[in-house]
Structure 1
């Protein structure tokens, strides 16, 4: 089975549809801290909808358009990273993350996202990785900063959540800068 050791009894593994029950239990624990930032969290409320969420990523992976990976800590799913919207012609993809409170403060997301971005640049020949987050999602913006991404723009009121419009920050890194660490 594919897994990457993230250190400190943490692993990065594929998050596949057959793990929907475990995924749902995790999202139920994480819902309060994840729901405002990740649109599929509010739609993954029972086994059927959780399976649909994971199947959507499996379908994207089968088409080469994205993937979703879970972060396990001491054998329990506590978060994950994802890539989606890959446009092979332009070489652009968006990445994101989520984490329940039990996994915070350990650097898990930074390490997991580093693995994902390394893979996207080396194996998928991606040219540009984007990170989108709301300005009030300080934790997400801090991950983007730690990864060395550049804040390029803020899109005003382009994200609708629970009937309210929110801004979106766009962070990005290009393959040459990632490879040279700058």
Structure 2
């Protein structure tokens, strides 16, 4: 049973798993530790190695690359690094503030050749989007050069009408702009001859957060379960209601949930709700209330989306007075339907403490498969607990519903 605050914590850490060659590797994305000289050198080596094929003039020497890494530590910068289990650098990304913080430039993005094709670049970009949004930024943009004819814009005279050529752009040989388009970026412009005749710089941008006014009008997540039950994202006006339910269930929830004691005021709850809104807008997590006949009965959400692998993990909790009525089973079932039918996901996971029999009953009742047990994977009330991993595949869910 995962909490709403755990959803926040996992989204902040953005710790992901990727699968490659039938193995599972942990990827940790953190603020770049500026005092770690070994990581700085590894990151500089990545710049030289990753760009030497198509943009060798970008960082021709280690000294050039080292200067870029150190520049990324400046006050108006963001610098994040992806590390493997052994602390090795898989990739890193930088952000440069402009327009009084409303707009940030993505520069640079480098992924180790040994880790390319495994979703590391996507993770770093999504993490930077969340970091920019958390600082009040609205737009993330970047320039992507074409120095060797990878697009239809390379090697031509774009004047007198550059926009006409831009409107007909074609990706001829795997130019990176295609990667960014898959992440939701759009082409916003071009600078002809930026790097010499016929060598343009292509500009892309993405809105990473809504203005306060547009957020008010933004359709929050709602999912009708049946005539009595609705899953709906919290609004700021729900802070008093949410805190009151947690406060009434403090002893009941404390047994398995680590966030209960820290949720000690309506103000703290309000901040959590604002965090939930931002995580939903950035497509990294979801936290919502379970409303029974209009009254809050519990919570359900997505602890994390892993879009590259089309996987998500569900977490939930229910008020003590509402247990034993089938509410959570129906709510989880509706979330699974939405994941497979509307989001196009392939796998839904539920992680439960091994001793939490009520929480484990939900996936078992819905015919989930038990994949295994992670030993002492959670720390609750000062004690390490094992976590049981359950999963459901889209094909299995279809068969289960038909039967």
Q: Does 1:6 align with 2:247?
A: no
Equivalent residue for 1:144? 363
Task: Tell me the alpha carbon deviations over residues 35-78 of structure 1, each in whole angstroms, 9 at most, x when there is no partner.
Answer: 33333333322112212322332222111122122122343211
Instruction: Give the TM-score normalised by structure 1.
Output: 0.89
Instruction: Give the TM-score normalised by structure 2.
Output: 0.42
Deviates more, 1:38-47 or 1:124-133: 38-47
1:7-156 aligned within 5 A: 7=227, 9-156=228-375
**For residues 359 and 251 of structure 2, what CA distance do their matches in structure 1 show?**
15
Query: Which structure 2 residue ranges, 5 or more long, are not aligned?
Result: 1-218
Task: Tell me the alpha carbon deviations over residues 157-179 of structure 1, each in whole angstroms, 9 at most, x when there is no partner.
Answer: 11112322111111111111112
Change (3 A) 1:74 1:120: same
SS in 1 for 2:278: helix
Query: Which structure 1 residue ranges, 5 or more long, are not aligned?
Result: none
Task: Tell me the alpha carbon deviations over residues 143-165 of structure 1, each in whole angstroms, 9 at most, x when there is no partner.
Answer: 11112111111111111123221
Deviates more, 1:15-24 or 1:146-155: 15-24
SS in 1 for 2:260: helix
Runs (4+) off by over 6 Å: none
Task: Tell me the alpha carbon deviations over residues 61-101 of structure 1, each in whole angstroms, 9 at most, x when there is no partner.
Answer: 11112212212234321112111211111111110110111
**For residues 353 and 225 of structure 2, what CA distance do their matches in structure 1 show?**
30
The structure in which a higher percent of residues are strand is 1
Report how many residues are paired.
Answer: 181
**For residues 345 and 257 of structure 2, what CA distance do their matches in structure 1 show?**
23
Contact 1:73 1:103 in 2 (8 A): no
Contact 1:6 1:12 in 2 (8 A): no
Contact 1:131 1:144 in 2 (8 A): yes
Contact 2:225 2:330 in 1 (8 A): no
The structure in which a higher percent of residues are helix is 1
Contact 1:34 1:41 in 2 (8 A): yes
Contact 1:6 1:112 in 2 (8 A): no
**For residues 267 and 361 of structure 2, what CA distance do their matches in structure 1 show?**
33
Which of the pair has more CA radius of gyration?
Answer: 2
Equivalent residue for 2:387? 168
RMSD: 1.9
Q: Post-superposition shift, 1:3?
A: 5.2
